[in-house]
């Protein structure tokens, strides 16, 4: 597991000097509220105790040198004319974030950086958002930039949207920046108001990586966004003033859903009901009703499977194997879909039994091994010191 001490050592071995600072930015998992963020809706993610670390020292010139320790690759570029790298795609998250800082009018110089991470890549746990936010935070601290957490998250989102080329919502970058230990964060993706929601100390957040690459997630993601936009346009003539599916209730969809094609109606039904589940879920957690929150997680997965159609049989099997284990309150697909990870809320005294049972059931039914991470909610991006 990478930590501040190890990345400190890696920096010294590469640059023959002590890094000026080390920052960490966590990965994240979304407990409930899937595909609602780009519909101006509500999400309930938590930062996790796996993180991307950057050890860095400032330069007086306009060059950036980066070592990706996990990949054993290096990159170097000037900040006055930043372009996408085809040879080093991981570098684009760093390049784009620096370009976003410059576009916002901040005056910065170059840096020497070493990057390493314990956030699994390609698993839907926001390794890219962690790298973007960590990069921005390094330059913010180096140059004493006055950037609020929300602003840093928005710059990281802009990096993803306009430089990397992924049309994501704000959730990932926001929770990576502003996460709080032992809490999930209820985020209103329209106005970015947020509220910390305590997670039960008696439970653990368990992430199961299916090791199925999300090969269809990109194209399906864009298709789902288009279907949601189509639903809004068709419903506007019947529900004046709506701007997104966030503004539509389940009762209204019941009345006016006939104007939508069956598939579009299904997509809308997921988003609308998922927003309602998020709000209900927050209320149940605040009331200490963990069992009801788990039921809402299970309902969320069924909606993602049946109405939004972003699950696949392998993910359904992984979820079902988790839901059968005593001590698991609820389990669901998390992330864009078509592979990646599930998230389960499990009683602490059942975690080891859960890990064994789910791994065995998944292997028996699918013939694949799952990697299971037991995590807890962590703080957002921060500066750290080697032990």
Query: Same domain for 162 and 273?
Result: no
State yes or no: pLDDT of 92 exceeds 90: yes
* pLDDT given for residue 124 in this prediction: 76
Query: Same domain for 124 and 256?
Result: no
Query: Same domain for 208 and 182?
Result: no
Q: What are phi and psi of 203, to 5 degrees?
A: -125, 160
DSSP code, position 314:
H
Query: Same domain for 332 and 266?
Result: yes
Query: Same domain for 172 and 251?
Result: no
Query: Same domain for 330 and 242?
Result: yes
Cα 281 to Cα 274: distance, rounded to the nearest angstrom: 10
* pLDDT given for residue 79 in this prediction: 96
Of the pLDDT bands very low, low, confident and very high (cuts 50, 70, 90), residue 137 is very high
Number of domains in the chain: 2
* pLDDT given for residue 217 in this prediction: 58
State yes or no: pLDDT of 76 exceeds 70: yes
* Max CA distance (Å), the chain: 68
Q: What is the CATH number of the domain that holds 120?
A: 3.30.230.10
Q: What is the CATH number of the domain that holds 234?
A: 3.30.70.890
Average pLDDT (134-149) is 97
SS (H, E, C) 116-156: EECCCCCCCCCHHHHHHHHHHHHHHHHCCCCCCHHHHHHHH
State yes or no: pLDDT of 249 exceeds 90: yes
Instruction: Give the length of the chain.
Output: 387
Of the pLDDT bands very low, low, confident and very high (cuts 50, 70, 90), residue 229 is very high
DSSP result, 237-264 = TTSTT--SGGG--HHHHHHHGGGS-HHH
Structure tokens at 18: 């002590």
Structure tokens at 369: 């091994």
Query: Same domain for 306 and 272?
Result: yes
Residue pair 132/173 in contact (Cβ under 8 Å)? The answer is yes
Query: Same domain for 253 and 338?
Result: yes
Cα 95 to Cα 100: distance, rounded to the nearest angstrom: 9
Q: Sign of the C-alpha dihedral, residues 309, 311, 312, 316?
A: negative
pLDDT in tens, 258-288: 999 999 999 999 999 999 999 999 999 999 9
Query: Same domain for 215 and 280?
Result: yes
Of the pLDDT bands very low, low, confident and very high (cuts 50, 70, 90), residue 216 is low
Q: What are phi and psi of 63, to 5 degrees?
A: -110, 145
Q: What is the pTM of this model?
A: 0.93
Query: Same domain for 53 and 185?
Result: yes
* pLDDT given for residue 214 in this prediction: 72
Query: Same domain for 134 and 24?
Result: yes
Query: Same domain for 192 and 210?
Result: no
Average pLDDT (207-232) is 86
The helix or strand, by DSSP H or E, that contains position 27, with its residue range, turns out to be strand 21-32
Q: Which residues are catalytic?
A: 172
Q: Which domain holds residue 223?
A: 203-375
């Amino acid at each position: 597991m990478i930590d501040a001490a190890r990345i400190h050592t890696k920096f010294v071995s590469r640059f023959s000097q002590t890094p000026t600072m080390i920052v960490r930015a966590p990965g994240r998992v979304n407990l409930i509220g899937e595909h609602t963020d780009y519909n101006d809706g509500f999400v309930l993610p938590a930062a996790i105790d796996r993180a991307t670390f950057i050890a860095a020292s400032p330069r007086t010139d306009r060059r950036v040198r980066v070592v990706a320790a996990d990949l054993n690759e290096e990159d170097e570029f000037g900040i006055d004319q930043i372009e996408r790298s085809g040879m080093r795609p991981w570098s684009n998250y760093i390049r784009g974030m620096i370009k976003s800082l410059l576009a916002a009018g901040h005056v910065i110089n170059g840096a020497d950086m070493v990057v390493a991470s314990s956030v699994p890549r390609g698993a839907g746990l926001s390794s890219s958002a962690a790298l973007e936010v960590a990069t921005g935070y390094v330059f913010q601290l180096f140059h004493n930039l006055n950037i609020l957490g929300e602003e840093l998250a928005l710059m990281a989102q802009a990096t993803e949207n306009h430089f990397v080329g992924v049309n994501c919502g704000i959730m990932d970058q926001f929770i990576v920046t502003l996460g709080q230990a032992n809490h999930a964060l209820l985020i209103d993706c329209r106005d970015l108001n947020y509220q910390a929601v305590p997670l039960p100390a008696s439970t653990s957040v368990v992430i199961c990586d299916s090791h199925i690459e999300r090969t269809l997630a990109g194209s399906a993601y864009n298709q789902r966004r288009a279907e949601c936009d189509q639903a809004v346009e068709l419903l506007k003539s019947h529900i004046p003033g709506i701007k997104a599916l966030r503004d539509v209730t389940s009762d209204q969809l019941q009345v006016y859903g006939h104007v939508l094609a069956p598939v579009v109606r299904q997509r809308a039904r997921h988003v609308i009901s998922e927003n309602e589940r998020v709000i209900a879920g927050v209320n149940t957690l605040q009331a200490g009703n963990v069992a009801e929150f788990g039921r809402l997680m299970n309902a969320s997965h069924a909606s993602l499977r049946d109405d939004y159609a972003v699950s696949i049989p392998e993910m359904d099997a992984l979820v079902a194997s988790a839901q059968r284990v005593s001590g698991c309150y609820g389990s669901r697909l998390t992330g864009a879909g078509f592979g990646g990870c599930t998230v389960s809320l499990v009683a602490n005294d059942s975690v080891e039994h859960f890990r064994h049972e789910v791994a065995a059931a998944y292997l028996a039914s699918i013939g694949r091994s799952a990697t299971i991470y037991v995590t807890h909610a962590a703080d957002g991006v921060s500066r750290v010191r080697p032990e």
